[in-house]
Structures are given as C-alpha cells and as structure tokens.
Homo-oligomer: A and B are copies of this chain.
Amino acid sequence: MDTRTLCLGVLTERAMSGYEIKKHFEEAFRHFFAAGFGSIYPALAELAREGLVTVENVEQVNRPDKKVYRITPAGRGQLQQELMLADPVHRLRSEFLVLMYFSHLLPPEHVGRLIDRRISELEHGLSRDLDACDGGAGTPDAAPLTPGQRFTLGYGRMMVTAATSYLRRHKGTLLRELEAEPAASLPRAAE
C-alpha cells in the first residue's frame, strides 16, 4: 500500500485535482499517512496511464488550469483488491523518542525543552483536527463523516490526549532522575 492506493481511495469520495488531494490528505490522514506533491503527482500520472483513473483538463479564470481526476470501475476494482489483500503494517518512527531514550547524553534543560515542544506540537495538531474535521457547530453543511473517518479521528484524538498527559505526568520525574545521575559522558555540553 502506497500513495497510489491512497489517491485511489480519496477519489472514491469525489473527483479531485492533485492539489486538492494533497489538501485532503492533510485534513484526513496527516496523523497516520503523510504524502507530498512529489509522491502524489507521479502517482496520479501512473494511475492514469494504467486506466485506473481518468483525467479531465479544466480551464479556470484567474487561476492556473487544473487536472481533475476521476476513478474508473477498473480503479475501484484495483482499490478493493489492494485493501482486501493488504497486510496492515503499523509503524512509528520517532526521533523524539530516540532523543528521550538517550536523554542521559543530553543536558537536562534541553530535554525539558524537547518535551515542552513536543507537547505543544501535539496540542497544535489536535486543535487543527477539531477545526478541520468535525466543526460541530461551525460548519453544519459540511459532508457528514463516514464511520471510518469518525473512528480514525477518534483514534488520533485519543492517542494525542494520552501522549500529552503521559509527557506532562512524567517530565518532572525524568528530569529529576537525569539530574541525580552523574550525566553519563558529557564533559560540558550546555554553556
């Protein structure tokens, strides 16, 4: 499963240009599947070549022309097969946690700053979610969410909440433990 599959997936919702797909990616599954233009545009070109999507050139006034992609029956078939056969890999790569793992090699103040920054990143992401996805009272006309969207959104929210509270609850302990120890192998790191 790669960017191609995800493009096919979002095109089941409605026809879109590459640019719109990118925005959709950011709103819908930024948490668990990122993709930039550099993956999306080539993916769409490939899908078109294979007949899994069609392209329509749409001229616009006061802005650049765009290419609107539409999924074909063959595309739907391909998508369904890929979704059914995929063995779902779930992998995290966190340099933040690597830094925490090796925190005894860093100045404690720096570790504290890293944790604070991570907390604010998490909270910032969370508020973007709430804005973008189910603006409960703000946008009553937006398309209602599918069950899967509610499920993954809820999952993301819960994980963010859990991570934030863990970081807040354990930051102090970690810093105290780091200060108690002889600071491993740092000659003089910060000032």
Contact A147 B12, beta carbon cutoff 8 Å:
no
Residues from chain B with Cβ under 8 Å of A88 in the complex:
94-96, 98-99, 114, 118
Interface status of A159 (Cβ within 8 A of chain B): yes
Copy total for this chain: 2
How near does chain B come to A99, taking the closest CB pair, in angstroms?
Answer: 5
Q: Number of contact residues on A: which range applies?
A: 35 or more
Interface status of A22 (Cβ within 8 A of chain B): no
Given B6, B178, B184, which contacts A98 in the complex, CB threshold below 8 Å?
B6
Closest to A165 in B: B158
Contact B84 A189, beta carbon cutoff 8 Å:
yes
Interface status of A136 (Cβ within 8 A of chain B): no
Interface status of A163 (Cβ within 8 A of chain B): yes
Q: A32-B94, A90-B97 are in contact. List 8 more A-B contacts (CB 8 A).
A: A6-B98, A9-B102, A12-B105, A31-B97, A33-B93, A83-B105, A87-B95, A91-B94
Given known A-B contacts A88-B99, A91-B34, A91-B92, A146 and B104 have beta carbons under 8 A apart: yes
